[in-house]
Amino acid sequence: MVGITVRDLEISFPLYHGNARSLKKTLRDSLSGRFTQDERERVVVQALRDVTFTLNPGDRLGLVGGNGAGKTTLLRALAGIYEPVGGSVTVTGHIGTLLDPSLGMNMELTGRENIRLRGMFAGLSATQISAVEQDVEAFAGLGSFLDLPVQTYSSGMTVRLSFGLATAIKPDILLMDEWFMAGDASFRNRARARLETLVSQADILVLSSHMADVMVDWCNRLIWLEDGRIRMDGSPREVLEAYLGHPLEELDNKDTAPDPVLPEPDPAEPHPLP
Amino acid sequence: MDSMQNAPSTEDTQRTSQPAPVLALLPETGVSYIRHAWQDMLSGMKLARLGATLGWLDIKLRYRGSILGPFWLTASTAVMVAAMGVLYAYLMNMDVHKYLPFLTFSLVLWGFASGTLQDGCTTFTSASGLIHSARMPYSLHVLRATVRNLLTVAHNIPVVVVVFLWFAVVPAWSWTMPAACALWVFDSFMATFLLGILGTRFRDVPPIVASTLQILFFVTPILWAPELMKTGQDWLLLDPFFPLMEILRTPFTGDIVNAAIWPAALGWSAVLTVVTFALFARMRARLAYWV
């Protein structure tokens, strides 16, 4: 059965650059407990600590938290890109990743060539690849741009292409980072229709976002990450209200209101919205 | 607005009917280092078609917008061989009919070796976008780089063919030719892998490799035939490039083969393979953290 089990996950990045000794001294004096030393006395940044949760078919998990809270790292750990330093990650099912807008696409190749490459990576036959090609062509609505290099696309077009592609090769589990907000409102409606089809087939979605309305609409569970730890785990409304520090009523008539962007907990580190 | 997009994509052909794969990730211990490294190699080979396509597209993109395209490389090799062949044959008092085919073949092989090693250092760092976007076998990136370098050296084959025809050199067919070619392909894969890992962790590796190659270019019999060494030719076996050059060069140019050449070539290849595999097994899980 499709599922994700994460137990006591720890991910830490070694810091190889710079003068390790003076760096250690500075860090010891100044910063929080996220910088520590491993058994070989190297300075490491603990990106994730003691993360434990289980996801079952139908779960749509949202990740909230400030910049550097570990959202993208957690998504990459679930995708098997970062293997655990401690604890374990067990993922059952085909994984689809939408972790960065370029999606590992070669920007110099045309959209069509990139679709072919993805199909080959997924181990599809030639006929399946052309089916995917048609599907993506219909969804992304790029017209003749599909035969131009991806670097000539606007960011919204790139997003439409990669989103269509990641969801055309039907994954059981879809991991999405917040960048897909680059699409316009009509794109997000279409994306939602497509995602709901996927999720209704008992698949799992894990999504990180800064947009409260997206979280409430798309997710049925939210995890709030802070400093690499789970601060809160619960229903979207409950977690968002705690995270934002105010009730969510104004979101109910969001059709007229502009998309509310979650406040940045750390103003010194502004997040560039796409 | 949603009318056409709302229709769920009906192509369910993509959904595979096999049971869902299980990806269980734990910190590596003991045998799991070796098992996972081996699995990575196997799944990389299963994606050979993708690796070859990526390598081919790299070459295709390199020449987009260029008039002479791939033939720049052919032309520059031809000019270099013509100029150096005549000059050095004169300087070293050698028969140009004997020296020029030797030099052509040596330079093309060396070009492949040094190109592979220098390109190898950036195998993973240049693929960081792919590595961070989805889990895929690391050997796929190595395969891609190897295919790219093999296609590059293929551009120089016309120069070798023309020189051999011009000087009427007839390669003596023997079983060692395909065997030597296979060993070269295998070794270039392994060397790319090794330098790829080292180059990811230590950013000083590319300049070290570049300067080492420069020394080896003059120390290895590339510009000069090994016969020019009156005594102590066996010392050359300590240079890993020498036996590898010789196993491929001697059948083509018709020179005499030193009996110790093949054992030395196989020995160096075995060392390379063991070191590469051991390093990859140890570092595989860390590569994504470094790129």
Tell me the C-alpha distance between A168 and A155, whole Å.
Answer: 20
CA distance B264 to chain A (A): 38
Alpha helices in B69-120 (DSSP H): 71-91, 96-120
pLDDT of residue A39: 62
CA distance B8 to chain A (A): 6
CA distance A238 to chain B (A): 30
pLDDT of residue A98: 81
In this prediction the ipTM stands at 0.80
Tell me the C-alpha distance between B144 and B54, whole Å.
Answer: 6
Structure tokens at A238: 């409950």
pLDDT of residue A25: 59
Any domain includes B17: no
Interchain pair B5, A84: CB under 8 A: no
Q: Name the nearest CA neighbour of B59 among B191, B132, B154.
A: B154
DSSP B222: T
Cα-Cα end-to-end distance for chain A: 36
Any domain includes B278: yes
Q: Are B74 and B155 in contact (CB under 8 A)?
A: yes
Interchain pair A80, B4: CB under 8 A: no
Q: Name the nearest CA neighbour of A59 among A228, A273, A256, A223.
A: A223
pLDDT of residue B37: 94
Tell me the C-alpha distance between A186 and A194, whole Å.
Answer: 13
pLDDT of residue B185: 96
- pLDDT tens digits, one per residue of B114-146: 999 999 999 999 988 889 888 999 999 999 999
CA distance B228 to chain A (A): 48
Q: What is the mean pLDDT of residues B52-63?
A: 89
* A204: Cα within 13 Å, side-chain hemisphere: 24
Structure tokens at A67: 């910049």
- Residue B19, classified by CB atoms within 10 Å of its CB into exposed (0-12), middle (13-18) or buried (19+), is exposed
Q: What is the mean pLDDT of residues B228-251?
A: 87
* A220: Cα within 13 Å, side-chain hemisphere: 11
Residues 6+ apart with CB under 8 A from A198: A167, A170, A171, A174, A205
Tell me the C-alpha distance between A62 and A219, whole Å.
Answer: 6
Amino acid identity at B21: P
Residues 6+ apart with CB under 8 A from A234: A221, A222
By C-alpha distance, the chain A residue nearest B6 is A193
Any domain includes B274: yes
What is the full per-residue pLDDT of chain A (274 aa) written as tens digits?
A: 889 999 999 998 887 765 555 555 555 555 556 666 666 667 778 889 999 999 998 899 999 988 888 898 999 999 999 999 999 999 999 888 888 766 668 888 888 988 888 888 888 888 988 988 888 888 888 888 888 888 888 888 888 888 888 778 778 888 888 766 656 777 778 887 887 776 666 689 898 887 787 788 888 899 999 988 999 999 988 898 888 887 776 555 444 444 444 444 444 444 444 3
* Strands of A3-14's sheet in order across: A35-37, A43-55, A3-14, A86-92, B22-25
Interface test mutation site (partner A, options B3, B4, B23, B47, max chain A beta carbons within 10 A): B23
Show the domain range for B138. Answer: 50-290
- pLDDT tens digits, one per residue of B145-164: 999 999 999 999 999 999 99
Name which of A82, A124, A189 is nearest B14 (Cβ-Cβ): A124
Any domain includes B11: no
Threshold 0.95, pTM exceeds: no
In chain A, what residues touch B4 (CB-CB under 8 Å)? 138
Tell me the C-alpha distance between B218 and A13, whole Å.
Answer: 42
Beta bridge mates, A76: none
- pLDDT tens digits, one per residue of B11-21: 343 444 456 78
Backbone CA torsion sign across B33, B35, B38, B40:
negative
Q: Are A49 and A10 in contact (CB under 8 A)?
A: yes
- pLDDT tens digits, one per residue of B176-201: 899 999 999 999 999 999 999 999 98
Q: What is the mean pLDDT of residues B208-218?
A: 94
pLDDT of residue A103: 65
Domains of chain A: 1-92+211-267 (3.40.50.300)
Interchain pair B15, A81: CB under 8 A: no
Interchain pair B2, A190: CB under 8 A: yes
In chain A, what residues touch B129 (CB-CB under 8 Å)? 100, 102, 104
Q: Are A239 and A81 in contact (CB under 8 A)?
A: no
pLDDT of residue A107: 83
Structure tokens at B270: 């075995």
Choice among A186-190, A197-201, B23-27, B218-222 with the minimum mean pLDDT: A197-201
Any domain includes B79: yes
Any domain includes B16: no
Reply yes or no on whether the pLDDT at B228 is more than 90.
no
Backbone CA torsion sign across B253, B254, B259, B263:
positive
Any domain includes B258: yes
pLDDT of residue A151: 86
pLDDT of residue A263: 47
pLDDT of residue B189: 97
Tell me the C-alpha distance between A38 and B51, whole Å.
Answer: 36
* Total count of domains within chain B: 1
In chain A, what residues touch B133 (CB-CB under 8 Å)? 97, 99-100, 102-104
Structure tokens at B279: 């390093």
Q: Are A146 and A110 in contact (CB under 8 A)?
A: yes
pLDDT of residue B169: 86
Percent of chain B at pLDDT above 70? 93
Tell me the C-alpha distance between B216 and B229, whole Å.
Answer: 16
Any domain includes B28: no
**Per-residue DSSP letters for chain A?**
--EEEEEEEEEEEE--SS-HHHHHHHHHHHS-TTEEE-TT--EEEEEEEEEEEEE-TT-EEEEE--TTSSHHHHHHHHTTSSPPSEEEEEEES-EEEE-STTTT--TTSBHHHHHHHHHHHTT--HHHHHHHHHHHHHHH--GGGGGSBGGGS-HHHHHHHHHHHHHHS--SEEEE-GGGGGS-HHHHHHHHHHHHHHHHTT-EEEEE-SBHHHHHHH-SEEEEEETTEEEEEE-HHHHHHHHHSS--GGGTTTTTSPPPBPPPS-TTS-----
Tell me the C-alpha distance between A274 and B5, whole Å.
Answer: 24
pLDDT of residue A256: 43
